Amino acid sequence: MQSPMRVLVLSDSHGYTGRLGNILMAAEAGGRPDAVIHLGDGYHDLAAFAADLPPVYQVAGNCDLGHTDYQDVLSLGAARVFVTHGHLFHVKLGLDALLARAAQEKAFAALFGHTHRPFCETRSGILLLNPGAAMDGHYAVLTVSCLGAVDAQLF
């Protein structure tokens, strides 16, 4: 049986690459991730670490000038995952729009940033995950089972 996929989820690093480096070392201590996702507001912050990272997926945030790729749907193992920075879905005011879009995309999870607050909750069968701000040392690890079940842990 295939082992679960382990995905490091980051957001809102805002140029704090020193903190990002500390997070990468801490996350690796728990086992090398199979992928890294950055949810915006620090679009280029992982570039300094690129040679040592597994595949990186990222979307832009409202502070990532010159980029407009604010959302994507990823296939992580057997799971569809909707990723966005969150500002276009007004996540500071509530998560209904985000949840509706994730359901429309038939996603098992919706990953977002923007609020800088860690959040992990399942609603209507969809995991909603905000790793919090990497600039404050926050991150999450998303686990995807071989059957597509998703779970997450906040750090």
Three-class DSSP labels, 84-153: ECCHHHCCCCCCHHHHHHHHHCCCCEEECCCCCCCEEEEECCEEEEECCCHHHCCCEEEEECCCCCEEEE
Q: Please identify every stretch of the chain with a pLDDT value under 70, giving residue numbers as ranges.
A: 1
Where are the domains positioned within the chain?
5-154
Backbone phi and psi for residue 43, each to the nearest 5 degrees, phi listed first? -50, -35
Tokens representing residue 134 in the block: 């990497």
Show Cβ contacts of residue 132 under 8 Å, excluding neighbours closer than 6 positions: 11, 12, 116, 117, 118, 119, 138, 139, 140, 154
What is the model's pTM?
A: 0.96
10-39 in b/e burial notation, b at 16+ Cβ within 10 A? bbbbbebbebbeebbeebeeeeebbbbbbb
Q: Which amino acid is at 153?
A: Q
Question: How confident is the model at residue 3, as a pLDDT?
Answer: 85
CA distance 14 to 78: 31
3-state secondary structure of 72: strand
Highest CATH level, class, for 5-154? alpha beta
pLDDT at site 1: 56
130-144 in b/e burial notation, b at 16+ Cβ within 10 A? bbbbbbeebbbbbbb
Partners of 154 in beta bridges: 140
Which pair of tokens denotes residue 139? 């991150």
